[in-house]
C-alpha cells in the first residue's frame, strides 16, 4: 500500500529490507522473493536502475526454482524497465518477451497489456515505428479483452453485490430508526 503512495514514503525501503531479512531468517523464500521484487519496483520508481536490477535479479534467483510464475514474469518486467531506463531497448524487449511468455501462459491480461505497452515504447525509441504500432494494437486488444473478460466481470459482480449488501444494511438502519421514532412519538 505504501508503495502506491505519491510521494513514496521515505522509510519504505528500510521496511522492505527488514521484511526481506526477516523472511530469510525464518526461511520464507516466497516472502523473501516478493520483498525483493517490491524493492526492485520501488528503486525503479525512484529512478535508481542499478539497485532495481540488483533486487530484481535476486528475486528472480529465488522465484525460478520455486516456480512462482507471476513473480518470475514481474521480475523480468522490472528488468525490462531498467533496460528501458538505460536506453537499452533491445535488452528491454528481450526481458519483456520473457515476461510475455509467462503472462500469456497464465492468461494474465493485465500484465500482457502493460508488457505490450512498454514493448511499443521500446520499439518507438529504436525508431521501429511499424513494430511499435503493432505492439500498440496489441495493447488495445489486451485492454479490450481485459475489460470483457470473465475475471473482470466477476470483479464487477462482486462490487455490485457489495453495493446491494450495503444498501440492505442501510435500509435496516432506516427501518430501525423509524421504529424508534414511532415509539418516541407514541410516548
pLDDT of residue 21: 96
pTM over 0.85: no
* Distance in angstroms (rounded) separating the CA atoms of residues 3 and 10: 10
Residue with the three cell numbers 515504447: 121
Please name which of 121, 83, 80, 109 lies closest in space to residue 97, comparing C-alpha atoms: 80
CA–CA dist 175, 171 (Å, integer): 6
For 15-25, the pLDDT digits (tens) are: 999 999 999 99
pLDDT band of 187, cuts 50, 70, 90:
confident
Is the pLDDT at 37 greater than 90? The verdict is: yes
pLDDT tens profile 145-166: 887 776 666 766 777 777 887 7
Amino acid at each position: 500500500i505504501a508503495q502506491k503512495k505519491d510521494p513514496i514514503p521515505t522509510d519504505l525501503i528500510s521496511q522492505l529490507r527488514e521484511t526481506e531479512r526477516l523472511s530469510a531468517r525464518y526461511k520464507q523464500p516466497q516472502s523473501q522473493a516478493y520483498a525483493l521484487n517490491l524493492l526492485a519496483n520501488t528503486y525503479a520508481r525512484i529512478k535508481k536502475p542499478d539497485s532495481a536490477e540488483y533486487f530484481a535479479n535476486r528475486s528472480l534467483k529465488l522465484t525460478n526454482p520455486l516456480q512462482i510464475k507471476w513473480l518470475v514474469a514481474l521480475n523480468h518486467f522490472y528488468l525490462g524497465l531498467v533496460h528501458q531506463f538505460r536506453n537499452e531497448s533491445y535488452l528491454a524487449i528481450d526481458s519483456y518477451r520473457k515476461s510475455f511468455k509467462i503472462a500469456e501462459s497464465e492468461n494474465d491480461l493485465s500484465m500482457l497489456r502493460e508488457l505490450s505497452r512498454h514493448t511499443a515504447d521500446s520499439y518507438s525509441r529504436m525508431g521501429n515505428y511499424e513494430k511499435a504500432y503493432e505492439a500498440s494494437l496489441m495493447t488495445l486488444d489486451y485492454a479490450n479483452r481485459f475489460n470483457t473478460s470473465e475475471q473482470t466481470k466477476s470483479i464487477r459482480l462482486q462490487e455490485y453485490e457489495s453495493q446491494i449488501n450495503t444498501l440492505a444494511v442501510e435500509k435496516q438502519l432506516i427501518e430501525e430508526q423509524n421504529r424508534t421514532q414511532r415509539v418516541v412519538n407514541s410516548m
